[in-house]
Amino acid sequence: MAGIFKEFFFSTEDLPEVILTLSLISSIGAFLNRHLEDFPIPVPVILFLLGCSFEVLSFTSSQVQRYANAIQWMSPDLFFRIFTPVVFFTTAFDMDTYMLQKLFWQILLISIPGFLVNYILVLWHLASVNQLLLKPTQWLLFSAILVSSDPMLTAAAIRDLGLSRSLISLINGESLMTSVISLITFTSIMDFDQRLQSKRNHTLGELVGMSGIFTLAIVGLLLNSTSFKAAIEETLLLESS
């Protein structure tokens, strides 16, 4: 993690623009999540539309273009580690631990093929379009970032559809597993690209850095009041009926 902060503070030419833009993104996300909790359109979709609007404005204004360039050329490792914990916590918070244990093998069975299909489709689209003139490693990293953002959109979209508890838990579990696989894929590509797998200190540092993200996922699971004892929810349902 120390290397990431060093890269952030000493290697970024547009540091003021990056700090301002990231702070603005976090503030807007927190505000929308607080005041649009029951809004028909999920908050991640609104943030996506705002991001598209920001990109369109960057083509019409040089001032906006400066901030857009600062974010676009930010380190992918830094970008991934800033926003991935939010995705992990959101998907884990919506998951019931009891149902995760009960449906673990079903979740694993659909998560791995689903991740591979999504990843290959995104990678194939980037390779076929290639308007950004990316290198193969950059394709792989960009695909991992896009796939990692999908679970949060899925969890937010199914929240109020009135689906059965088992189906919701299956979808949320698949989203959580996709986040984990995306994190492993991204860090593996970064390690392979930088040829640092054989350095023991770097590997230890990567594990320590990843432990914070996994801790957020565990905390999100534990915050569910009916996570470990399904009998509690059954008792509440019986009393309400």
Q: pLDDT tens for residues 22-80?
A: 777 777 777 777 777 677 776 767 777 887 787 788 788 777 777 777 776 666 667 67
- 139 contact partners, CB below 8 Å, separation of at least 6: 123, 126, 127
pLDDT per position as a tens digit, 101-142: 787 888 888 888 888 888 888 888 777 766 666 677 777 777
Task: Report the 10 Å Cβ neighbour count for 2.
Answer: 9
Query: So what's the pLDDT on residue 32?
Result: 74
CA gap 53, 103 in Å, rounded:
40
pLDDT score for 30: 73
Q: Name the band, by pLDDT with cuts 50, 70 and 90, for residue 175.
A: confident
Task: Supply 152's token pair.
Answer: 């949060």
Dihedral sign, Cα of residue 159, residue 164, residue 166, residue 167: negative
Give Cα separations from 23 to 18, 78, 128 (angstroms).
Answer: 8, 15, 34
Extract the tokens encoding 39.
């809004």
**Per-residue pLDDT at 239 exceeds 60:** no
